[in-house]
Chain A
Amino acid sequence: MMTERNLVIIGGGPAGLAAAKAAYDCGERDILILERENELGGILNQCIHNGFGLHTFKEELTGPEYAQRYIDEVIKRNIEYKLASTVLNVSRDKIVTYVNAKDGVGVVKAKAVILACGCRERPRGAINIAGMRGAGVFSAGTAQRLVNIEGYLPGKEVVILGSGDIGLIMARRMTFEGAKVKAVIELMPYSSGLNRNIVQCLNDFNIPLKFSHTVVEIKGKDRVEGVVVAAVDEKLRPIMQTAELIPCDTLLLSVGLLPENELAKGAGVSLSPVTGGAVVDENMMTDVDGVFQCGNVLHVHDLVDFVSAESENAGRCAAEYINGKVCAAQKIPVKTVNGVRYCVPQYLCADGVYEPISLKMRVAGVYKKVELTVRADGVKIYGKKRPVVAPGEMENIALNAEQVKALKQAKEIVISLEGGEARA
């Protein structure tokens, strides 16, 4: 039997919760959240460290506390949610098929769908590490779940590949639980993690961080017995003469996140080859009418605060779409050149709504003394001088209504890094 709903939100993590709250506050009452796990909150539930919410709540919360703030908002508004419900398919005409133990297979026809399904970790297979297939190789997030939620320690002598924030946080967490973290290995000459995490997760416990190194082999038949680590040259190729064995029983991989977009593909949504997420306009609408996207499924964020803000925008716009206020008119492409890797949104709607919007982007390398500019048909609309920009830090450009008006009257919008020293 097919039921009908105005708005179906897929994912009950920070993105889905914020979208639901905002859609409700915009007047939409017929909302259903579908969540795969047994509780709301998404990945925040296992991020038990502090540091969340400085922007949103002006205080420093742990992941579960931040999630609870939004869960409370959703419960207060009586927004319906189904847990342990896995969405199997979203069709182009917004028919959502899900499965759970109570309903069996459920089919919902929605007027609008928000995809807020988050991202996954890059697995071992994606980085081609040679060696044996012994137990003891985990993604950092899997280890985080085992330690923080299930109460298991995945190993005692640990090497971590990748110095992103999850890798750094897990170095400290494993140390707290009595494991010895022997080294964090980073392929690049810099860390994509926050400086504060290098200080409080590694330096505090004298855990060495080896830049421009990688794991070239995993040893151990039944259980990991060690990893072979080597320096890499400027083209990131391992220099085998430098190879050394680090004995360990566990290798954690913190080597990047990938938006989870199987559902979007099924719905016929066009994806960006750069972000791995959908191509959207400033209303967070994809190129499939009435299908929206927000949070880490759209592009991987640094801070959950930015996920919440983006998702509230998506929720508002979805509610307005249901009321017939958002139309997919002609779209102006936002091009990125000269060191700017991508921008979300990739398009602006060429209609007469001139509301403040924010453009989010990442750069391709580390650049010093640059100006981040937005030009409309060659005319500079916005410029921000930055002493240094790096790929690990998302840049956010907030544009006022007047600037948006100038952009929307252009044929072409170009975001670029101008001036500066390094070009990678």
Chain B
Amino acid sequence: MKEMICINCPLGCRLTVDDADRQNIIVTGNTCPRGKAYAIDEITAPKRMVTASVKVEGGSLPMVSVKTARAIPKELIFDSLELLKQVTLTAPLHIGDVAVENILGCGVDFVVTKEIRRTCDKE
């Protein structure tokens, strides 16, 4: 039996997870199906969204925010951040632009989450 708090939304449901049988993990305390999926992931292969900022050249701001398009395996968090430190993007940038493709081969991209103008086309 394990106790955990679902991180899917601000409700933060308290889950009780019976993982005696790894093929048939029993979750209670969740209010929606996402809670059950979270608990099973958390036991078998925990995942997290990662958000950070990366350098921009020629933009209206020196940094642009990025996120993983989906949650990535938890153990890749710090390696994925290390990867971002090597990256410099060039303005203009749009929400959804790929910043890093296929992070460490996990099949998920880092995507841009903010509009950045080129400094030359200021209004």
Of A65, A150, A196, which is within 8 A of B7 by CB? Answer: A196
User: Do residues B51 and A62 form an inter-chain contact, with CB atoms below 8 A?
Assistant: yes
Spot the interface stretch: A44-52, A282-290, A323-331: A44-52
Given contacts A147-B53, A198-B5, contact A48 B113 (CB under 8 A): yes
Number of interface residues of A (CB under 8 A): 31
Taking CB atoms, residues of chain A closer than 8 Å to B65 are 48, 62-64, 148
Taking CB atoms, residues of chain A closer than 8 Å to B95 are 64-65, 68
Residue B6, interface by CB 8 Å: yes
User: Do residues A149 and B52 form an inter-chain contact, with CB atoms below 8 A?
Assistant: no
User: Do residues B74 and A62 form an inter-chain contact, with CB atoms below 8 A?
Assistant: no
Of B9, B49, B53, which is within 8 A of A148 by CB? Answer: B53
Taking CB atoms, residues of chain B closer than 8 Å to A150 are 62-63
Residue A239, interface by CB 8 Å: no
The chain A residue sitting closest to B7, CB to CB, is: A196
Taking CB atoms, residues of chain A closer than 8 Å to B118 are none
User: Do residues A64 and B113 form an inter-chain contact, with CB atoms below 8 A?
Assistant: yes
Residue B43, interface by CB 8 Å: no
Residue A398, interface by CB 8 Å: no
Residue B114, interface by CB 8 Å: yes
Bound CA span A198–B81, Å: 21
Chain A 179-197 interface residues, beta-carbon cutoff 8 Å to B: 194-196
User: Do residues A54 and B51 form an inter-chain contact, with CB atoms below 8 A?
Assistant: no
Taking CB atoms, residues of chain B closer than 8 Å to A51 are 9-10
Of B12, B14, B61, which is within 8 A of A149 by CB? Answer: B61
Of A50, A64, A196, which is within 8 A of B12 by CB? Answer: A196
Residue A353, interface by CB 8 Å: no
User: Do residues B63 and A50 form an inter-chain contact, with CB atoms below 8 A?
Assistant: no
Chain B 47-82, CB-CB to A under 8 Å as 1, else 0, gives 011111101000011110101000000100100010
User: Do residues B51 and A50 form an inter-chain contact, with CB atoms below 8 A?
Assistant: yes
Distance between A194 CB and nearest chain B CB, rounded to angstroms: 5
Residue A303, interface by CB 8 Å: yes
For the A-B complex, the count of residue pairs with Cβ-Cβ distances under 8 Å equals 79
Of A49, A151, A176, A303, which is within 8 A of B10 by CB? Answer: A303
Taking CB atoms, residues of chain A closer than 8 Å to B67 are 48, 50, 62
Chain A 199-218 interface residues, beta-carbon cutoff 8 Å to B: 199-200, 204
The chain A residue sitting closest to B9, CB to CB, is: A54
Of B49, B55, B113, which is within 8 A of A151 by CB? Answer: B55
Taking CB atoms, residues of chain A closer than 8 Å to B18 are none
Given contacts A68-B95, A148-B63, contact A48 B9 (CB under 8 A): no
Residue B115, interface by CB 8 Å: yes
The chain B residue sitting closest to A172, CB to CB, is: B51
The chain A residue sitting closest to B122, CB to CB, is: A38
Chain B 8-51, CB-CB to A under 8 Å as 1, else 0, gives 11101010000000000000000000000000000000001111
Given contacts A48-B52, A50-B51, contact A151 B63 (CB under 8 A): yes
Task: List 19 additional contacts besides A60-B9, A68-B114, A204-B74; criterion CB under 8 Å.
Answer: A38-B60, A50-B51, A50-B67, A51-B9, A54-B10, A62-B113, A64-B113, A65-B95, A65-B114, A68-B95, A148-B53, A148-B63, A149-B63, A176-B52, A176-B77, A177-B52, A196-B5, A196-B12, A303-B10
B residues contacting A by CB (< 8 A) are 4-10, 12, 14, 48-53, 55, 60-63, 65, 67, 74, 77, 81, 95, 113-115
A residues contacting B by CB (< 8 A) are 38-39, 45, 48-51, 54, 60-65, 68, 147-151, 176-177, 194-196, 198-200, 204, 302-303
- The 12 sampled A-B contact pairs (Cβ below 8 Å) are A48-B51, A48-B114, A68-B114, A148-B53, A148-B65, A151-B63, A176-B50, A177-B52, A196-B9, A196-B10, A199-B12, A200-B48
Ranked nearest first, the 8 interchain pairs of A and B with the lowest CB-CB distance are A195-B12, A48-B65, A64-B114, A196-B7, A62-B113, A151-B63, A196-B12, A195-B5
